[in-house]
Chain A
Amino acid sequence: EDKVVQSPLSLVVHEGDTVTLNCSYEVTNFRSLLWYKQEKKAPTFLFMLTSSGIEKKSGRLSSILDKKELFSILNITATQTGDSAVYLCAVVKETSGSRLTFGEGTQLTVNP
């Protein structure tokens, strides 16, 4: 059975801290891994990772994939209160429909 596990499930930090969110997976026919940010409403896309060792960056956010050890991390540096959200990890399979298997998400709270 396919599995995507995120840790920690919940994290509270102060503004300016750096955080690392983890996502491990056990999925057959892996194609790619996606990170989303969800603030009360629809998840919004952050990164897509397909190859190991290539870091994707967007401002203070960065992510990397390790296909040998089957995990990905999402880093946020110099956190701001606007970073407070649920961060979702999802894996795309090489199957009809390219279905996503989601992890439970990490609830990040950034306090001023």
Chain B
Amino acid sequence: NAGVTQTPKFRVLKTGQSMTLLCAQDMNHEYMYWYRQDPGMGLRLIHYSVGEGTTAKGEVPDGYNVSRLKKQNFLLGLESAAPSQTSVYFCASRHSFWDRGRETQYFGPGTRLLVL
């Protein structure tokens, strides 16, 4: 049981390049989330998904796209990277909304992205 995994761990991009971050979970969780963490800003929600084939915008969705084609995977895409997207990106997952008592979000190890 690996929990939540993220690839890659670290990446350097040039402005305008594109890339996809992959998040995978093996806990059969319905809900998955992408956050970014910046100094002094805490964790901010980019996009989230409440099930396979569904996605929704969070607090800071601009410049990012997501897809949830399989329940266990949640992809975060940057079509044209900008220096403002330099950050640490965390993926998280959890059981479904109606599963009271199991509301904890479990986090992946993070992806450090530097956009030059």
The answer to whether A and B come from one shared complex is yes
Within 8 A of B (CB), among A74-94: 88, 90, 92
Measured CB to CB, the closest approach of chain A to B70, in angstroms, equals 19
Which B residues lie within 8 Å of A43 (CB)?
Answer: 43, 90, 107
Say yes or no: A97-B97 contact (C-beta < 8 A), given A42-B109, A45-B106.
yes
Residues of B participating in the A interface, judged by any CB pair closer than 8 Å: 4, 31, 33, 40-45, 48, 50, 56, 58, 90, 94, 97, 103-110
- Tell me if A58 is interfacial: C-beta within 8 Å of chain B: no
Which A residues lie within 8 Å of B106 (CB)?
Answer: 45
Q: Considering the chains assembled together, what is the distance between the CA atoms of A90 and B45 in angstroms?
A: 12
Which residue of B is nearest A103, CB measured? B42
Q: Considering the chains assembled together, what is the distance between the CA atoms of A90 and B44 in angstroms?
A: 11
Say yes or no: A98-B104 contact (C-beta < 8 A), given A41-B110, A88-B43.
no
**In the complex, are the beta carbons of B31 and A97 less than 8 A apart?**
yes
Say yes or no: A42-B42 contact (C-beta < 8 A), given A31-B103, A34-B104, A98-B103.
no
Which residue of B is nearest A95, CB measured? B97
Q: Among B41, B56, B97, which residue has its beta carbon within 8 angstroms of that of A104?
A: B41
Which B residues lie within 8 Å of A44 (CB)?
Answer: 107
Q: Among B56, B94, B105, which residue has its beta carbon within 8 angstroms of that of A96?
A: B56
Which B residues lie within 8 Å of A36 (CB)?
Answer: 107
Q: Considering the chains assembled together, what is the distance between the CA atoms of A42 and B107 in angstroms?
A: 6
